A and B are shown apart, each in its own frame.
Chain A
């Protein structure tokens, strides 16, 4: 049946003038909403752009996401495909390992015009500041503009298409599932649903609003005829919940898909966009980085050619380097974020410790973020916990996107029980005392409890480092106490208990990880040290028994065999320098010197995995104060390992490389692991002049630094309360009082 609808209401509304340039129900150009001019300037700088569609495929697409839903924009003219993902669509269950699945795609086809396949003035761009893509082209004398963003507050993907001549939009629109589902179309709504072999239910829905022209249903698609403007809102959801006790299954997604669509369409395009921008910019704009001016001619180049120019003349484009730093922050924000939802969907127990925002636990970012790039690796099995998962979160705290680390912490907490059960069943962990306390992981973990690969015992300590990092960086926020008491402390403690049971006495009478490497030894030391520090905080009051346990772990830490670092096999063995903090130039200068020599030796051998080794080496050199070496890693990373869309990867996306590199750059600009804020600890000569605003240091200090000729010329340290803090500036240590800062406040309403 052919059915056509006329949206008279929209048309009438649009005919009316609105004083703030806002209209209703979906349709407006959106340009009027960009606020101040400086914001426009900021957006221009924070932009990747290209003069052709992403012909090479998904790996060159523009990446957009809200931490739960992600999509890729290829920018096709005749046919635009927007594949989207939802980060909980995994096969597998509590016994069988599974893989990450594609969800579906939105396909938009432009009707053949007078000109066959011809177009001009093409531009495809990603504004990181707006977290929005924009594709423009001219065809048959009409300029088309298509924008896409994925809203965090509304939890929907939004596609907007406008032409500069009324009635110029004709074509078809489809919503396709990735598993051969049949798409239902009713009026302006499309949707499909299904379930995987593991029983996971999923559903996607889309709603079309339009201005001018008409739409109708035709052969499994929506047909557009002579529209002026079009908005498609897509919601996608599964019934996965991060709760082992419920078998990782929650309510059927239908109700919420409908509700998400309804809420978004009720608010209207303008308000949804405004809320999206507010939400994204609030987090994204917390850090500004200026590493110097680039030559004007490279600024005019499309990003891919600009990258090529950089490769010919390394170091010639500091603005590209700053862009890459920000891209890491952008990717983390896009691929890892808790989801704000109505309270009824939020399990009560997640509510307490992180108040203010009603947020639901979510899954963390993968090496492909939350996207599927079409490569074999994009459906990879599980999260790699001996590196990729942790490194993907290196930037979270120092680069001030700390909320993006919460999904990793959520994942750890949600898997404690199955991980404990797995450890119980493993003979090697059996001890005469009986029960295995705490948990351990294999190299690959899954969202539904199962694990694959070899046992990676010390990876549990490495994961715990992130619980500790969050604690160390959240300062005096009101949620801190509850975070420690209900979330972090019990987990750190149980993993300490695990190691208390597992450690064995070595030849010299000191404790060692059975069969462990240098890196394993460092990780366990780091765990004990972090636990002792957390248990010593005045924020929580420990009972006598707990104080006794703290002392026991402190003693155990001091009796751990400590590696000499004269010979290291890989970066992992230097864990004590970065991300750990046992070794530092200031406190253990001899060890640091030994480690530096070992690192030089290590660099002589090519890294097996450059996406892992380059950022790690960069961070290590930064911690060792070797700016030139650190910068070499950074520059090599850009030169050899990022694609035209600035995403790291060769045959598949390796965004963990981007995310880790942003974390490493933070180490070049600011370090706080010793408790002293060290400004520009490893500033390379390539960045003689610049500034950074809003980096975060341990203790929740926000730090701004400006420098010239490699020297700090001014700085500002801010915190929630006016605390005293030691700062190392241009080689001198001074104690200053932090200014009252403007951190995002987390508090409970009454």
Chain B
């Protein structure tokens, strides 16, 4: 037992707790596989057969910009890859013209053997989340083949290595194919293709093959033939000419030279160096947080992931290890789909094999893109949040024009009629792309406030004032200016947001709870930001005045928090969105300690939505899980996880009815809310710990105010905890129902 832990607890808790500490016994975190051995599940998905279906069985890899889905086929391996800036669609288009996210291409690896009969044995396919590495291995004609794939962030390439246990037995054909009918050319050990989309975006991909032993040569001018190699390394690069710069209409230099350089650099490094750099980068982020929700039975742990998931559904849960895996998988997927210099995670993260994907695989701003980032801060992946800010900042110019046309149109206030120059602020519709295009503006104005909340949260968690001053504050202020100009007034003088719709249902009416809560949230965050920076006193006070005059939701006739200004709510409504509860989560206006009546009304509204019918939907579970957690209802929160895993999770653990990455990324965010809540002081440890996680520990959670928190528990009670920050400071905590003040440890 390491002494560091006991020592720290002593200083944190002070003498009063010392007596009971002895009773608590040794305080050890099951931090890694090492310390508690088999007790903790390795973060690994594995299967005993190849993937048949790309969407439900393929395994994803990504470096935040470039990613792929690997099928693990024997006779033919397919690695379908994406680069997250490959978008069709016109510059600054609308919902009809803003295009869609495209599949980049496929790398096919055909295995050549003597026998035509596809017989293999000892198959295993796995995705190791800690190493961010895929591996498929099987025995074919007495030879064990192993193929591993990873997406390197430092090298910005995909890497595939194929080895066998018998020299000279790697033979086959490698083909690289685009998805837009490009011709693939081969030159030496490299093949590649390129093209230009209608909107002017140029793209190029090349793969270079490096063999040990044997030969590699061009076949039919478009593929590479491997003959009797000992080992094969394939490095694949793909880029587009897209840049996040509206002044250039998002078009940059042709990608060819950079693609060539990617390959050259990678080839120089070689496999070992590529892999160790990849591991260092990935693990520095991934291993910041460990989660142990309890030990699953050896029977469960011995099962392949697909069978384990099936059993989980049949036996109503009973597998905390699998739930912890789902949590870490969400973190893994965010790392894979959202890292600089890439774009943020879209509706499918960055994994898409179709050129006509569902909902264009775009960015939906009425829940989905936000949900993608619920985990980023609390689950200690703040860096992954940055691509979202990069993209938003790069879209502000066209979005300002959207505001101008919108607020000078049919429903303009008199002072703005035909005066676009007077309109301040920016506006984005319910969906957008990466080249200034946005659509469905009639769905409501307030997505801008919701996006601002993310700028705010990044500061709230980090406490980074320089970031706040330079990046977040100007964006938030500008959004406030829009509302200063555009808020409407009710006859009794309450302020309401313009263009109101409660997402994806109901009447288009102003004053709905969703819009009002978001404007309240924006104003509140702005006020705190201005206070933190000590700037813009006059405007800050004006915003505070407006906030006090905002119309806020009432409690309706069946005790529910109303979704609309009028008491329309129908308890038969099982709609997937829980927009009226946005002030509970992700917002923070409604709180079970400070506003218990509103929290109760929110509970009734949430209960009313039920869990059958349309309520049973992928990302819906994640939102409801977070809401129940904020309302302190551990069992109800946990049931959402269970139902999501039972009804809406594919065998590759993607949340799905079609890939809906927001479900996969939202659920870890929600689980964070069950373990730790910091939206209000005091910070609460284990605010909603369910009986299914009777014993466990978490290290490396983040709390607002630049804090890192580790907690260990038993029977739902905190048995040990540790709070640290860059500089020691006083922190108010709620632990096992008691409030106490502690001083955080220096990190």
A residues at B contact (CB < 8 Å): 9, 12-13, 16-20, 22, 24-25, 35-36, 39, 153, 263, 266-268, 271, 274-275, 277-279, 281-282, 285-286, 340-343, 356-359, 740-750
Contacts and interface: CB of A to CB of B under 8 A. Distances in A.
Contacts of B564: 745
A285 B570 contact: no
A18 B691 CA distance: 13
Interface in B543-591: 555, 557-560, 564, 566-576
Interface in B651-693: 691
Contact of A35 (B559, B614, B715): B559
Nearest to A35: B559
A268 B635 contact: yes
Nearest to B601: A35
A750 B570 contact: no
B633 A22 contact: yes
A20 B632 contact: yes
B631 A20 contact: yes
B7 to A, nearest CB: 30
Nearest to A17: B737
Q: Which of B570, B614, B634 has the most chain A CB atoms inside 10 A of its CB?
A: B570
B568 A743 contact: yes
Q: Which of B571, B633, B639 has the most chain A CB atoms inside 10 A of its CB?
A: B571
Interface stretch (B47-55, B134-142, B277-285, B503-511): B503-511
B574 A358 contact: yes
Contact of B633 (A18, A277, A740): A18
Contact of B571 (A268, A279, A740): A279
A278 B633 contact: no
A742 B560 CA distance: 14
Nearest to B567: A742
A742 B604 contact: no
A285 B506 contact: no
- Chain B contact surface mostly: loop
A358 B559 CA distance: 22
A266 B631 CA distance: 18
Interface in B596-620: 597, 599-600, 603-604, 607-608, 610-614
- Chain A contact surface mostly: loop
Contacts of A36: 555, 559, 597
Contacts of A267: 611, 639
11 contacts: A9-B691, A19-B632, A24-B634, A36-B597, A153-B572, A275-B610, A279-B572, A285-B557, A285-B558, A358-B574, A745-B564
B612 A342 contact: yes
B603 A20 contact: yes
B287 interface: no
Nearest to B635: A24
Contact of A343 (B575, B613, B632): B613
Contacts of A266: 316, 611, 639
Nearest to A263: B612
A286 B557 contact: yes
A636 to B, nearest CB: 34
6 cross-chain pairs, A with B, having the tightest CB-CB distances, nearest first: A357-B572, A24-B635, A745-B568, A282-B558, A742-B567, A749-B505
A342 B614 CA distance: 8
Contacts of A743: 568
Interface string B494-527: 0000000000111100000000000000000000
B559 A281 contact: yes
B592 interface: yes
B610 A357 contact: no
B635 A13 contact: yes
Interface string B305-316: 000000000001
Contacts of B574: 340, 358
B570 A744 contact: yes
A25 B635 contact: yes
Interface residues of B, number: 46
Contacts of B737: 17
Contacts, number: 124
Given A282-B557, A282-B570, 14 more contacts: A12-B715, A20-B603, A267-B639, A277-B558, A278-B608, A281-B559, A282-B571, A357-B570, A358-B613, A742-B567, A743-B568, A744-B568, A745-B564, A747-B507
Q: Which of B555, B558, B567, B574 has the most chain A CB atoms inside 10 A of its CB?
A: B558
A234 B555 CA distance: 32
A278 B558 contact: yes
B575 A749 contact: yes
A58 B303 CA distance: 56
A275 B571 contact: yes
A356 B633 contact: no
Contacts of A740: 566
A746 B573 CA distance: 9
B691 A19 contact: no
Contacts of B572: 153, 279, 340, 356-359
B716 interface: yes
Nearest to A340: B572
A274 B592 contact: no
B607 A278 contact: yes
Contacts of B566: 740-742
Q: Which of B506, B574, B635 has the most chain A CB atoms inside 10 A of its CB?
A: B635
B639 A742 contact: no
Interface string B295-328: 0000000000000000000001000000000000
Nearest to B692: A9
A750 B576 CA distance: 10
Contacts of B592: 19-20
Contacts of B599: 20
Contacts of A742: 557, 566-568
Contact of A274 (B570, B576, B603, B691): B603
A153 B608 CA distance: 9
B607 A275 contact: yes
Contacts of B732: none
B692 to A, nearest CB: 10
A359 B570 CA distance: 13
Interface string B628-641: 00011111100100
Nearest to A342: B612
B56 to A, nearest CB: 21
A356 to B, nearest CB: 6
Contacts of B575: 749
A281 B716 CA distance: 35
Contacts of A281: 557-559
A358 B691 contact: no
Contacts of B507: 745, 747
A317 to B, nearest CB: 27
Nearest to B605: A278
B491 to A, nearest CB: 11
B372 to A, nearest CB: 21
Contacts of B505: 747-750
A343 to B, nearest CB: 6
B602 to A, nearest CB: 10
B611 A263 contact: yes
A742 B612 CA distance: 26
Contact of A18 (B316, B506, B632, B639): B632
Contacts of B632: 18-20
